[in-house]
């Protein structure tokens, strides 16, 4: 399973302040730590709607350059604002890049889709349209179908698309764990070449022991067919389970990855 | 998910000595502790092949009576020796009882099947025939089909049967995690009324951090359709994940079971 390191995100106040204050040391440290902990991609998010768009484009330019200076891990440009994505891509010199995210909303597809297609980027696609997150598997799949049709129509391949099945809190609706898991399973069944990606934290909203619940959900999602997880790679327990899930789903030949991680002291119970 | 408490098993030397020495206090304590920790069934196993059969039938009689004296949780009679099962059932006064186990081997089916049918017992059925544990899903399913055909032919219902998909160590064959999980999934798809049950420990044989690997596998198995697990209910981490797996698979309406367990201090990270 691919790990997308989620730590450099302006929704966290400390990170937002570091970005606003151009605190190079802080951002470099966070990028390096995630890369060393095993992140395959480093997510960068400068927020939206708080500053003027001019400020945000300057911020993403600085952020992309700063992170790239200390790691060659590919970046995930985390924004739904086309201009921010465009500036990020313009300042990014790596080959592989991921954009997070598009939805089935026509105005998003039409603005972000071509950016991803032109750059041959990987693209996270949220299984939702204009009416918010659907509460059924069927309607999430309809959104995926609309996205796939649009993106393949402008030259993208299914392999480039990372569908996010989306997660609603189980404390609000007991069926939502299965809705997300079945959506993953159905996406993989319908579009075997497409990928799936998911954030960990929404499922446990409103419950105690959230991290434990999130990790349990990650394991179920791994079996359902999850290809990538957006998580905190500095969380050793979560990273241990990523490795174990690869092993249990037959992706770690001879358990070599697990045993190597164990010898490096990276398996945490 | 049902929990079958595995602690009273003569394969553990301390337990074997307690049974041989008729150590009532030890056995009573182990039965009560498992019941209080949330076991739905208490497994009782006097071993086989070490003493004479006469000794074992005396042991199972004593053990069944001793455990029943302190808990009204139903028992799982864990033996493949018809005479031991018969004596256990003869000394058991509860209504619900489980027998663990039968296989597709004709001599086992023909001796143990009728005991289960007559007593209207639940019966654990291992997905294997005379040639040991098959290494493919297909051949495990063939064993299940043979067992189901035989048992329904003598009056049992699919609901009474707990199929054990069987688990081979992933350290020996990287595909074996998926073989077990897909077997569970296929059993539930083919026989929706039948149940599934699994022991936790084989998957991690030969690996470090075995309990962590076992618990990760339990979560995947829960999503695949596991109805019951044979485990140590005194392992708070495993029991926490049993509750969380129920919640994540929609079996815990309004998360009430999880929140209650949390308030009782039973959720352990």
| pLDDT class of A54 with cuts at 50, 70, 90 | confident
Contact assignment for B249 to A171 by CB distance below 8 Å:
no
Q: Which residue from A minimizes the CA distance to B225?
A: A220
Range of the domain at A155: 2-263
Q: Which residues of A touch B264 (CB under 8 A)?
A: none
pLDDT(B76) > 60: yes
Say if CB A92 and CB A85 are below 8 A apart. no
Q: Which helix (H) or strand (E) holds A54?
A: helix A53-70
Across A62-71, average pLDDT: 98
| CA distance, residue A216 to nearest chain B CA (Å) | 7
- CB atoms under 10 Å from CB of B192, counted, come to 9
In a domain, A195, yes or no: yes
Q: Pick from B173, B204, B223 the residue to mutate for testing the A interface (most A CBs within 10 Å).
A: B223
Write out chain B residues lying below 8 Å of A245, CB-based: 216, 220
Residue of A170, A224, A255 with shortest CB distance to B255: A170
* Dist CA B43 CA A80 (whole Å): 55
pLDDT of B54? 74
In a domain, B269, yes or no: no
Out of B220, B224, B248, the one facing A177 most closely (by C-beta) is B248
Helix, strand, coil percent content, chain A, rounded in steps of 5: 50, 15, 30
Please tell me the predicted confidence (pLDDT) of residue A52. Answer: 58
The kind and range of the H/E element at B126 are strand B122-126
Inter-residue contact A211 to A237 (CB < 8 Å): yes
Given an 8 Å threshold on Cβ–Cβ distance, is A207 in contact with B250? no
| pLDDT value for B49 | 58
- Would you say residue B34 lies in a domain? yes
Express each pLDDT in A80-125 by its tens digit.
Answer: 999 999 999 999 999 999 999 999 999 999 999 999 999 999 999 9
User: Is B224 contained in some domain?
Assistant: yes
Verify whether the Cβ–Cβ distance B259 to A208 is below 8 Å: yes
**What integer pLDDT is reported at residue B33 of this predicted model?**
98
Percentage above 90 pLDDT, chain A = 96
What percent of chain B shows pLDDT beyond 70? Answer: 98
The verdict on a CB contact (< 8 Å) between A244 and B212 is yes
Do β-strands A41-45 and B2-9 pair in parallel, antiparallel, or remain unpaired? unpaired
Q: How confident is the model at residue A53 (pLDDT cuts 50, 70, 90)?
A: low
Residue B268 resides in a domain = no
* Continuous segment of H or E residues that includes residue B109: helix B106-119
Q: Is the pLDDT of residue B51 over 80?
A: no
Query: Residue B53: its pLDDT value, please?
Result: 58
- Lowest mean per-residue pLDDT among A44-48, A94-98, B74-78: A44-48
What pairs with residue A8 in β-bridges? Answer: A44
Helices (H) and strands (E) in chain B, counts: 10, 8
- Structure confidence by residue, pLDDT tens digits, A191-248: 999 999 999 989 999 999 999 999 999 999 999 999 999 999 999 999 999 999 999 9
The nearest CA of chain B is from the CA of A168 a distance in Å of 12
Which residues of chain A have a CB within 8 Å of the CB of B208?
259, 262, 267
In this prediction, residue B98 carries a pLDDT of: 98
- Looking at residues A34-54, what average pLDDT do you find? 85
Residue B134 sits in a domain whose CATH number is 3.20.20.20
Instruction: Give dist(CA A164, CA A226) in Å, integer.
Output: 9
Count each helix (H run) and each strand (E run) in chain A, helices first. Answer: 10, 8
Range in A36-50, A55-69, B97-111, B159-173 the model is least confident about: A36-50
Summarised one tens digit per residue, pLDDT across range B110-143 is 999 999 999 999 999 999 999 999 999 999 999 9
Complex ipTM, two decimals?
0.95
Q: Which residues on chain B are in Cβ contact (under 8 Å) with A254?
A: 174
Cβ of B255 and A171 within 8 Å? Answer: yes
Shortest CA distance to B98 belongs to which of B39, B49, B44?
Answer: B44
Contact B255 A174 (CB under 8 A): yes
Q: Note the pLDDT tens digit of each residue in B159-212.
A: 999 999 999 999 999 999 999 999 999 999 999 999 999 999 899 999 999 999
Picking from B177, B209, B262, the nearest residue to A269 by CB comes out as B209
Strand partners, B139: none
Q: Which residues contact A178 (CB under 8 A, 6 or more apart)?
A: B248, B249, B250
Q: Round to whole Å and give the CA distance between B91 and A239.
A: 50
Q: Examine residue A269 and state whether it is found in any structural domain, yes or no.
A: no
Total structural domains within chain A: 1
Which one of A167, A171, A174, A235 makes the best mutation probe of the B interface by having the most chain B beta carbons within 10 Å? A174
B178:A250 CB<8 A: yes
Note whether residue A268 is domain-resident. Answer: no
Average pLDDT over residues A243-255: 97
Nearest chain B residue to A182 by CA: give it: B223
Q: Do B247 and A178 count as a contact with CB atoms less than 8 A apart? A: no
At B244, the pLDDT band (50, 70, 90 cuts) reads very high
Strand stretches in chain A, DSSP E? 2-9, 41-45, 75-78, 97-102, 122-126, 161-164, 195-199, 228-231
Average pLDDT of every residue of chain A: 96
Which residues of B are less than 8 Å from A136 in CB distance? Answer: none
* pLDDT of amino acid B148: 98
CA distance B138 to chain A (A): 18
Choose the closest CB to A219 out of B220, B250, B254: B220
pLDDT greater than 70 at residue A254: yes
A129 within domain boundaries: yes
Residues 6 or more apart whose Cβ sits within 8 Å of residue B148: B125, B158, B161, B191, B194
Residues B19 and B47: their CA atoms lie apart, in Å, by 10
- Are B240 and B268 spatial neighbours (Cβ–Cβ below 8 Å)? yes
Given a cut of 70, is residue A159 above it in pLDDT?
yes
The model's confidence at residue A51, banded by pLDDT at 50, 70 and 90, is low
- What is the rounded distance in angstroms from the CA atom of residue B75 to the CA atom of residue B89? 10
> Nearest by CB to A170, which of B171, B220, B247?
B247
Provide mean pLDDT across the span B69-89.
Answer: 97
Q: Which residue of B has its CA nearest to A249?
A: B178
Cβ density class B153-165: b for 16+ within 10 Å, e for less: eeebeeebbbbbb
The residues, any chain, with a CB within 8 Å of residue A13's CB and separated by 6 or more, are none
Average pLDDT over every residue of A137-150: 98
- Chain B CB contacts of A211 below 8 Å: 269
pLDDT of residue B87: 97
Give the per-residue pLDDT at A48. Answer: 74
């Amino acid at each position: 399973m691919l790990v997308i390191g989620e730590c450099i995100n302006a929704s966290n106040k400390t990170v937002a302040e570091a970005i606003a204050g151009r605190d190079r040391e802080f951002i470099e440290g966070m990028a390096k730590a995630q890369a060393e902990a095993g992140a395959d991609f480093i997510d960068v998010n400068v927020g939206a709607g708080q500053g003027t768009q001019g400020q945000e484009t300057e911020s993403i330019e600085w952020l992309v350059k700063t992170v790239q200076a200390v790691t060659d891990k590919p970046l995930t440009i985390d924004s739904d604002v086309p201009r921010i994505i465009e500036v990020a891509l313009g300042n990014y010199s790596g080959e592989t890049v991921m954009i997070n995210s598009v939805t089935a909303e026509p105005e998003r597809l039409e603005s972000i889709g071509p950016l991803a297609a032109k750059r041959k980027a990987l693209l996270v696609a949220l299984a939702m349209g204009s009416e918010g997150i659907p509460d059924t598997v069927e309607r999430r799949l309809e959104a995926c179908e609309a996205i796939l049709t649009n993106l393949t129509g402008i030259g993208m391949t299914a392999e480039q698309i990372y569908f996010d099945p989306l997660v609603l809190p189980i404390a609000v609706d007991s069926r939502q764990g299965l809705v997300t898991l079945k959506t993953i399973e159905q996406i993989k069944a319908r579009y075997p070449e497409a990928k799936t990606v998911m954030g960990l934290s929404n499922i446990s909203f409103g419950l105690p022991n959230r991290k434990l619940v999130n990790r349990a959900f990650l394991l179920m999602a791994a079996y359902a067919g999850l290809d990538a997880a957006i998580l905190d790679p500095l969380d050793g327990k979560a990273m241990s389970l990523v490795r174990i899930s690869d092993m249990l789903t037959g992706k770690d030949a001879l358990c070599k990855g697990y045993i190597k991680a164990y010898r490096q002291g990276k398996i945490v119970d």
